[in-house]
Amino acid sequence: MTIILGLESSCDETAAALVTADGQILAHRLATQEDAHRPYGGVVPEIAARAHVEALAPLVEAALTDAKMTLADVDVIAATAGPGLIGGVMVGLVTGKALAHAAGKPLVAVNHLEGHALSPRLADQNLQFPYLLLLVSGGHCQLLRVEGVGQYRRLATTIDDAAGEAFDKTAKLLGLGFPGGPAVEKAAAKGNPRAVPLPRPLVGTDEPHFSFAGLKSAVMRAAQSGQYTVEDIAASFQQAVIDCLLDRTRRALAASEGVTALVVAGGVAANQSVRGALTTLAQDHGLPFVAPPLWLCTDNAAMIAWAGAERYAAGMTDDLTIPARPRWPLDPTAEKARGAGVKA
């Protein structure tokens, strides 16, 4: 059985995992940087890169120890090669290259977004291509038709902020702390989702894409008005995001004949209210709803190892000259979205 060592360091989580080609997670180790970034209310790239340098090698050793293996037992090295904070991406990719070279193992350079896109297949071995994926994270908000390994057709993206980015900025505006997504979700559970009149950008329009910058600005004005509680603003914001996600996903489903499932992945997919709304949407369209367990939604190395396994099985490996990339679209042929620039 092929064993893949996965390395993840694209943002503020450092992780190493060992996964088999049939989806067994033999070991997973993760180091968070939340305490280091909390005083700044967001991720500081230089701090993140230095923390990856310190944490990654011990995590690899710990994962191998947990699995009672050595590097010689590993068949493939998979490392995130982008997109992400370039300093962190370089730490993981250079480590992966060094291990592959030293041990004489093949290297698979993994697109972090592909890690998220394929992670539902690690969680549900029965999930078949093609499926409609809502990828919602701190840096990305996209709808993709996943047709196979390395085969993605982008149907929509954000023209400004990503959904997770909007959660983080809302948390900062409301003084809820870092990381923002869980903080907003916790506060929203105590609030009234209809208390604050907030916009639903692009809902009901022919525009296929997402937009959250205007919603973030409306949250700021609501907070400055002093008319609403923090909990009510958080709940109203979360409901507005859900309404936007549902409307855009519903539109994409109408243009996606033959998909086997509605799938969600990325850090925002850990939000229980988002999951509940998408479950209902899938049921309304007669489709199964597939979401990885919560820990597989946030950044982790198991999804990178699994994407490496899928790519390796398809004959996709990389040489040691492959570069780290701060931007790396899953669908490079997709037309640029209005206002998105290179971010799309």
Count other Cβ atoms within 10 Å, centred on residue 341: 10
CB-based contacts of 270, cutoff 8 Å, min separation 6: 181, 182, 294, 297, 298
Residue 40 CB-half CA count within 13 A: 12
Residue 15, beta-bridge partner list: 8, 30
CA 225 to chain centre: 33
135 is in an annotated binding site: yes
Per the listing, tokens 């590097």 go with 71
286 is in an annotated binding site: no
Which two tokens mark 81?
Answer: 């090669």
Q: What is the dihedral of CA 26, 67, 111, 213, to 10 degrees?
A: 70
> In the chain, what is the straight-line distance between the N-terminal and C-terminal CA atoms, in Å?
38
138 is in an annotated binding site: yes
209 is in an annotated binding site: no
Q: What is the dihedral of CA 146, 149, 154, 155, to 10 degrees?
A: -10
At residue 80, φ and ψ (nearest 5 deg) are -60, 130
331 is in an annotated binding site: no
Q: Which amino acid is at 138?
A: G
136 is in an annotated binding site: yes
315 is in an annotated binding site: no
Q: With contact defined as beta carbons under 8 Å apart, do 143 and 263 qualify? A: no
116 is in an annotated binding site: yes
CB-based contacts of 282, cutoff 8 Å, min separation 6: 261, 262, 288, 289
Listing DSSP states for 72-135 in one string gives GG--EEEEEEESS-HHHHHHHHHHHHHHHHHHT--EEEEEHHHHHHHHHHHH-TT--SSEEEEE
**CA atoms of 114 and 124, how far apart (whole Å):** 16
137 is in an annotated binding site: yes
185 is in an annotated binding site: yes
Q: Which residues sit in the known binding site?
A: 112, 116, 135-139, 168, 181, 185, 271, 299
Q: Which residues sit in the known binding site for substrate?
A: 135-139, 168, 181, 185, 271
Q: Which residues sit in the known binding site for Fe cation?
A: 112, 116, 299
